[in-house]
């Protein structure tokens, strides 16, 4: 999923198929993401001069958390790197509305992958 393909958002800015101003409490939504029979990992391409975290939630911005990503600094706002979580709730399956909700720090987001490792 490309970050700019979100279907709803709160508090963010979007440009050149990226998402910025991803600060605590801000979120982006992706409608009807096919989680198939379940994925156990989540990857994100991001840039940030600070450490932070965000939750992956289903249903709404306060919905069930299926994973948390803790990320480290990449050096600046334009140096992207991959991070993620290898411990996604594999019991979440089928089509779900996914919310990416910032919980700390600040980042620019580019791309996401649900996967099995």
Confidence of residue 73 (pLDDT cuts 50, 70, 90): very high
pLDDT above 90 covers what percent of the chain?
98
User: pLDDT tens digits for 27-38?
Assistant: 999 999 999 999
Residues 38 and 98 sit within 8 Å (Cβ to Cβ): no
User: pLDDT tens digits for 77-103?
Assistant: 999 999 999 999 999 999 999 999 999
Residue 5 is classified by DSSP as G
Distance separating alpha carbons of residues 92 and 59, to the nearest angstrom: 11
pTM above 0.75, yes or no: yes
Kindly tell me the sign of the dihedral angle through the C-alpha atoms of 85, 7, 77, 65. Answer: negative
Residues 27 and 98 sit within 8 Å (Cβ to Cβ): no
């Amino acid at each position: 999923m490309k970050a700019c393909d979100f279907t709803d958002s709160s508090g963010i800015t979007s440009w050149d198929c990226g998402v910025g101003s991803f600060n605590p409490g801000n979120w982006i939504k992706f409608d009807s993401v096919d989680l198939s029979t379940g994925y156990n990992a989540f990857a994100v391409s991001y840039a940030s001069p600070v450490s932070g975290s965000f939750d992956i939630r289903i249903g709404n911005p306060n919905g069930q958390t299926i994973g948390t990503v803790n990320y480290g600094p990449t050096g600046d706002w334009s140096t992207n790197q991959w991070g993620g979580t290898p411990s996604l709730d594999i019991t979440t399956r089928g089509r779900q509305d996914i919310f990416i909700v910032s919980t700390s720090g600040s980042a620019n987001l580019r791309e996401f992958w649900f996967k099995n490792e």
